[in-house]
């Protein structure tokens, strides 16, 4: 176990929960896949994909203006409406099903907890 949890009284623990993105799976794996899909379906400019990945790395996952920036910097010549571009991009984002793989470490941890806790 992690030394951060050495002081936990595990006999009293009844339930264990995990957050998926950034805990169980690397969030960047998902982001890269979903932006690649948006790139295939929506982006017209060849540099939009690299730009959006770099902005996500710089600003983080809670940054809400990332599609606005892509539109202004690259895609405005291809779409006559920023709102349509953003909504189309977000549709792909919301409907996307990633292919994510658990690390060996996380598989071990999940198996351990699933055998010992609810």
Instruction: Please spell the DSSP secondary structure of 25-73, one letter per residue.
Output: B-HHHHHHHHHHHHHHHT--STTHHHHHHHHHHHH-TT-S-HHHHHHHH
Mean pLDDT of 50-61: 94
Going by C-alpha positions, the residue among 107, 77, 96 that lies closest to residue 115 is: 107
Q: Tell which wins on pLDDT, 7 or 47.
A: 47
Better-scored residue on pLDDT, 11 or 38: 38
What pLDDT does residue 103 have?
Answer: 82
Residue pLDDT, tens place only, 57-99: 999 888 999 999 999 999 999 999 999 999 999 999 999 999 9
Q: What is the pLDDT of residues 3-30, one digit of tens each?
A: 556 777 878 888 887 776 667 788 888 8
- Taking the whole predicted model, whether its pTM rises above 0.85 is answered as no
DSSP β-bridge partners for residue 21: 25
Confidence of residue 39 (pLDDT cuts 50, 70, 90): very high
pLDDT grade for 109, boundaries at 50, 70 and 90:
confident
Cα gap 26→29, rounded to integer Å: 6
The pLDDT score that the predictor gives to residue 38 is 97
């Amino acid at each position: 176990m992690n030394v951060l949890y050495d002081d936990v009284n595990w006999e009293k623990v009844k339930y264990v929960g995990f957050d998926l993105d950034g805990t169980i799976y690397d969030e960047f794996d998902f982001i890269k896949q979903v932006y690649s899909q948006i790139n295939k379906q929506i982006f017209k400019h060849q540099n939009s994909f690299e730009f959006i990945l770099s902005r996500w790395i710089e600003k983080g996952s809670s940054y809400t203006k990332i599609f606005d920036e892509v539109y202004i910097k690259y895609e405005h010549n291809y779409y006559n409406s920023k709102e349509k571009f953003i909504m189309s991009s977000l549709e792909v984002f919301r409907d996307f099903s990633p292919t994510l793989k658990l690390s060996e470490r996380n598989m071990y941890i999940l198996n351990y907890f699933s055998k010992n806790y609810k």
